[in-house]
Amino acid sequence: MSLIGHLRELRNRIGIALFFVLIGTAVAFWWYEHGLGDFIRAPYCNLPDDLRYNDADGSCGLLVTDVFGGALIRLKISFIAGIVLSAPFWLYQVWGFLTPGLKKNEKRYGLSFVAASTLLFALGAALAYLSLSAGLRLLLSLAGDGVVVALTAQDYIGFVISLLLAFGVSFELPLIAVVLNLIGVLSHSVLSKARRWIYFLTIVFAAFITPTQDPFTMLLMAGPMCVLFEIAIQVARFVDKRRAKREAALGLADLDDDEASPLDAAPSPLDSAPSPLDPAPSPLDAPAHTQN
């Protein structure tokens, strides 16, 4: 395809992806009144009555301080939920645009990477949602007695989204280590020697990235990340062993980085093809067949 053809295909696929996101947003906008809003408010509404705002009838609620606040909150939640709901469709468009330029093994690695990254992000987001109530209880209880806690919808939704994104993105980091090992940039020996530093920096990273800044949420993020990094180290061990066996079979195991590989650099002989200027063979030149 020409450059204009690629740009035209990119435009069409972006348009189709946005169309599916729009449909997902519309579905989520309708779903907001049928369970999605309650699902978002559940970690806050599960808190004790003295740690949350209650209406006159005793029900849980979030405050809206401006005229368009309620509409913007609903649109924001619907848009994020629409992206999640339509992910299989717009990811297919991205994959369809990239696939023609990939080799067979690259397609296989690409599908594995997309599946693993999606699973890890979902795992991190689910763990963050489960930790919301405990983190909110710890943070809001620090206000002490005599203080009425009333969260605005904007602050609470922003807090929830930032926590889900922080956990989801953080769980992708061990996968990056595996990818760097697969392409030969990061070896198992380096990862194994830096294991203590990896665990230490993971805890420091969790302390900075968690929006709640409480030790419970920090450890809830750092613990699974350390487990995932250990899995990544073991995967790197397996990959390096297979790579070493393959290099040993090819006689490349004992070579230095600056030493040329023992490959035959001589050009292979070309098959003699008949020239268009050569005369066509005569039927008389054909070998005679003998009859048995």
Reading the chain (292 residues) residue by residue, the pLDDT tens digits are 677 888 888 899 899 999 999 999 999 999 888 888 888 888 888 877 777 776 666 677 778 887 887 888 888 888 888 888 888 888 888 877 877 776 777 677 777 888 888 888 888 888 888 888 777 887 777 776 767 777 788 888 888 888 888 888 888 888 888 888 887 788 888 888 888 999 999 888 888 887 766 777 788 888 889 999 999 999 889 988 888 887 777 665 555 655 555 555 566 666 555 555 555 555 554 455 444 4
| Domain interval for residue 158 | 3-184
Q: Does residue 191 form part of some domain?
A: no
CB 174 within 8 A of CB 228: yes
Q: How many domains does the chain have?
A: 1
Q: What is the pLDDT of residue 20?
A: 92
Q: What is the pLDDT of residue 210?
A: 78
| Distance set, CA 189 to CA 143, 185, 239, 242, 258 (Å) | 48, 12, 12, 14, 20
Taking each helix axis from N to C end, the angle separating 69-85 and 3-31, rounded to the nearest 10 degrees, works out to: 120
Q: Does residue 28 form part of some domain?
A: yes
pTM metric for this prediction: 0.71
| 95 C-beta neighbours (distance < 10 Å), count | 15
Q: What is the pLDDT of residue 263?
A: 59
- How would you classify residue 277: left for phi > 0, otherwise alpha for psi between -120 and 50, otherwise beta? alpha
Q: Does residue 292 form part of some domain?
A: no
Catalogue the long-range contacts made by 56-62 (C-beta closer than 8 Å, 24 or more residues apart). Answer: 62/151, 62/152, 62/153, 62/156
Tokens of 202: 């993971």
CB 239 within 8 A of CB 181: yes
Q: What is the pLDDT of residue 267?
A: 66
CB 170 within 8 A of CB 225: yes
Q: Does residue 209 form part of some domain?
A: no
Tokens of 129: 């949602």
152 strand-pairing partners: 63
Q: What is the pLDDT of residue 292?
A: 44
Q: Does residue 37 form part of some domain?
A: yes
